[in-house]
Amino acid sequence: MSRRDYYETLGVSRDAGEQEIKSAYRKLALKYHPDRNPGDKAAEDQFKEAAEAYSVLGDADKRARYDRFGHAGVSGAAAGAAGFNADIFADFSDILGDFLGFGGGGGGRRGGPARGADLRYDLEISFEDSFAGTETTIQIPREETCESCHGSGAAPGTSRETCPQCQGRGQIRYQQGFLVVARTCGQCRGTGQIVPKPCPACRGAGRTARDRRVTVKIPAGIADGQRLRLHGEGEHGAAGGPTGDLYVVVHVRPHSFFHREGDDLFAEVPVPFHMMALGGTFPIEGLAGPIDVSVPAGSANGEVVSYRGKGMPNVSGHGRGALHVRLVVDVPRKLTKEQKKLIDQLGKSMTVDRIEPRSLDAEEKPFFENVKDLFG
């Protein structure tokens, strides 16, 4: 497949708006869709090309990358030279929807049982809550089956009736020359049934919008970006179809000094230089109470002490990660006369003749290498 400019493919300018791109794509997709051009290889290629272009330009992030880096910026995102990507079809079912019969069913009677839509909810939690786990109640606006008509759309005491126009077939067949042509019945819109007296609660739709309160259990150790699937908490299905699912996407606010990497935690602590030389212990405020940090005597700047089992709990319940504390020498800036005198005495007692640079391959790892290892 040639690497045509995506804007050119869709026939829009580089500053085209979201809506313009969408409708340009829709026009092309309808024109070149394989169902309308059976066996036409050129049309199929046009169709794929338009789908690929739209998969990039229809997504604000990918479009920005494409604008800056061209095809290279989105090579992983689009179908590219690898050929047609079925996912692209799936993504666009919402746009093309009924036009092309992507919505499922396709022809014949419409309005049968359909699964309810999945819902997404973005939930922000604190770092502490991701550590300990929590439970929270969220409010989800969703479409539910109308309680007063149980989804039939017919007023209580009445019921749906077979459409008199099409006798329940959902289609009207008529002769056109030698051909018998079928079209969707206008009176029942293809469902084969009519509601003679609509339910007043839902105006015949069979569904109502509701705010549902859902309790969500957040497991300890959940990481930023992970999602929880709540089975059956999505929208109700149509005509008795199954209910969709609710996806709760968890966003974890960063902590003021703990940084998470996998199940491990990282922190950096300034340590007074005398403690780096002589060793010592001090407590830091951990996520589950104080943790005693031991400084080995003669610690180098940037040295890391690790504590197994003091990191984040594993979200699947497999123990806990480690805590890595990076010790950084805290050189005092303000000293009293007395302190200056003492340090001076200390210096004089240490008989250093000359200070020379040393190779970076010295025994201790240079601290920036440590940092790279631990903090990515």
- Measured in whole angstroms, the distance separating CA 284 from the mean position of its chain's CA atoms is 34
Minimum distance of Zn ion from residue 201's CB (angstroms) = 4
Rule CB under 5 A: choose which of 56, 74, 140, 146 binds Zn ion: 146
**Contact region with Zn ion (CB under 5 A), list: 21-29, 52-60, 196-204, 296-304:** 196-204
Task: Assess 184 for contact with Zn ion (CB under 5 A).
Answer: no
Query: Which string of x and - marks every residue 223-242 that binds Zn ion (by CB under 5 A)?
Result: --------------------
User: Cβ distance 303 to 327 under 8 Å?
Assistant: yes
Smaller CB separation from Zn ion, 149 or 265: 149
Closest CA to 374 of 330, 331, 322: 322
Query: Radius of gyration (Cα) for the chain, nearest Å?
Result: 33
Under 8 Å between Cβ of 343 and 292: no
Cβ-based neighbour number of residue 321 at 10 Å: 20
CA angle 13, 16, 22 (to 5 degrees): 110
CB of 149 to Zn ion, least distance (A): 3
**DSSP string computed for 75-136:** TTTS-GGG---HHHHHHTHHHHGGGGTTTS--SS-----BPPPPEEEEEEE-HHHHHH-EEE
> Which CB atom, from 199 or from 222, has the smaller least distance to Zn ion?
199
Taking the complex as a whole, the smallest distance from the CB of residue 173 to Zn ion amounts, in Å, to 12
202/218 with CB nearer Zn ion = 202
For the segment 10-49, give every residue that binds Zn ion (CB under 5 A). none
DSSP string, 154-208: BPTT---EE-TTTTTSSEEEEEETTEEEEEE-TTTTTSSEE-SSB-TTTTTSSEE
C-alpha 10/C-alpha 50 separation (Å) is 6
85 binds Zn ion (CB under 5 A): no
Interface segment toward Zn ion; rule CB under 5 A; list 46-54, 139-147, 353-361, 368-376: 139-147
Return the number of the residue (24 or 199) whose C-beta is nearest Zn ion.
Answer: 199
| Total of residues contacting Zn ion (CB under 5 A) | 12
Residue 232 C-beta: closest distance to Zn ion, Å: 21
185 interacts with Zn ion by CB under 5 A: yes
> What's the token pair of residue 220?
């300890």
Q: Which of 28, 202, 222, 265 binds Zn ion (CB under 5 A)?
A: 202
Residue span binding Zn ion (CB under 5 A) among the ranges 84-92, 185-193, 277-285, 309-317: 185-193
154 scored as a contact of Zn ion (CB under 5 A): no
195 is an interface residue for Zn ion by CB under 5 A: no
Q: What strands, in cross-sheet order, belong to the sheet with 227-230? A: 119-125, 246-252, 227-230
Among 57, 163, 195, 250, binds Zn ion (CB under 5 A): 163
Binding residues for Zn ion, rule: CB under 5 A, are 146, 148-149, 163, 165-166, 185, 187-188, 199, 201-202
